[in-house]
Structures are given as structure tokens and as C-alpha cells.
Amino acid sequence: MSLAALPVDNPWRENALELVYELKLNLDANWEQKLELDAEEDKTLMRAITPLFQEHLAAAEQRGEQRGIQQGIERGRIEEHRYILENFLRVRLGDLDPVFRAFLSPVSVLPAVDFTMLLVQLATVSVDDNGVRESKRLLAESVLRMRFGQLDERLTNVIPSLLALSLEDLGLLLSQLPELSVEELLGRLDRSVS
């Protein structure tokens, strides 16, 4: 099988092209020292290699552009969710305290269906102190569900402890949550309550 027959995104092709490109660089560096006969063979080899390497570079560039576009779209979606949630809560409940603000970013990465369900739930809470507490509980529940999937009784029972953390501890815990297991989360909350 020739190098040209391999798919553009094949890792073997990529490795081979990198090695061949290094060979091309070495040939270029030694060009002046070659005999005329050797130089003609090298030219033939380089003419065969150059289009493959250019194709490899173009494919890599296109993959990079696609990744960049996707990342930009995802960042825009997250920012839009954050903006919608912040304004929804502000209109519904008034000024947002720091605990609400701590949950805005983590909740903003929810998939669209989960985010919509959260908004529907938040729309049903009362517009009083009980509604504020319930809204915070719903935000905490959404973040925990997003990280751990279904909430068991242990996770549901730690939500009051989570919401009772100092703002600094809450922010730190939310930033580290993606790396924590359920047991690690429960252990941290047990230590902070004691």
C-alpha cells in the first residue's frame, strides 16, 4: 500500500509524512554536496513527496479550523445560557446574591434540554424567600446531576451543606467538582460542616 492510498487522517500516514518531511529537509540541507545523478533522484523523490505533505498540512489546517469553529460555537452557547439564566433569575427574584452568581457558570454548561428543564422548574418557584432558597437548591441539584448523573439520597442530602459553604469554599468546590468522585465530595462537605 502506498502512502498516497492511506486516508488523510490516518495516524500512520501522518507519522510517515513527518519522517519523509524530515528526510526532505535533510536532502535540502545536503543538496549542494550531492552528485548530479543523486540530485536527480532526490528531485524525483521530492516531487513525489511534496504534494502528499502539502495535502497533509492542508488537512491538518482544516481540522484545526473546524475545532476552532466548534469551540467558538460552544463558548457562545455557554455565554448565552449564562446571560439567559442570570437575567431570568434577576427578573424573577430581584438582585442576585453571590451564591446565585457562583452557580451561573457551572449551570451554563448544561445541555440545552437540561437547561430548559431547569428554567421551567425555576419559573414555578414562588417569588419570596422560600423561592430564593428553592432556586438555589435547584441550581445545586442541576450541577450535581450534571456531574454525577442521577442523584442518590446521599447527594440530595448534601445540598444544604453545599449551599451553606462560604462563598470562597463554594467557588473552589464548584471549580474542582469535575474531578471529584461522590466520596471525595461527601468527604469535603463533611469536613467543612465539622
Instruction: Convert the pLDDT of each residue in 66-124 to its tens digit.
Output: 777 777 777 777 788 777 878 878 888 888 888 888 888 888 888 888 888 888 888 88
C-alpha 17/C-alpha 13 separation (Å) is 6
Residues 47 and 87 in one domain: yes
Of the three residues 67, 93, 119, the one that is the final residue of a domain is: 93
Residues 65 and 105 in one domain: no
pLDDT of 175 strictly over 80: yes
Residues 132 and 174 in one domain: yes
Question: What's the domain count of the chain?
Answer: 2
pLDDT of 167 strictly over 80: yes
Neighbouring residues of 144: CB distance < 8 A, sequence distance ≥ 6: 151, 155, 159, 162
pLDDT (0 to 100) of residue 177: 86
Whether 143 and 114 have beta carbons less than 8 Å apart is answered as no
Q: Which of 191, 165, 194 is nearest to 98 (CA)?
A: 165
pLDDT (0 to 100) of residue 188: 84
Which of the pair, 4 or 151, is modelled with greater confidence?
A: 151
Which pTM was predicted?
0.59
Residues 79 and 103 in one domain: no
**Gyration radius of the chain over CA positions:** 28
pLDDT of 7 strictly over 60: yes
pLDDT of 190 strictly over 60: yes
Confidence of residue 36 (pLDDT cuts 50, 70, 90): low
C-alpha 44/C-alpha 109 separation (Å) is 53
pLDDT (0 to 100) of residue 172: 86
Q: Looking at residues 118-139, what average pLDDT do you find?
A: 87
Q: How many CA atoms lie less than 13 Å away from 120 in the CB half-sphere?
A: 6
Of the three residues 93, 109, 127, the one that is the final residue of a domain is: 93
- Find the domain containing 71 and state its range: 6-93
pLDDT (0 to 100) of residue 42: 64
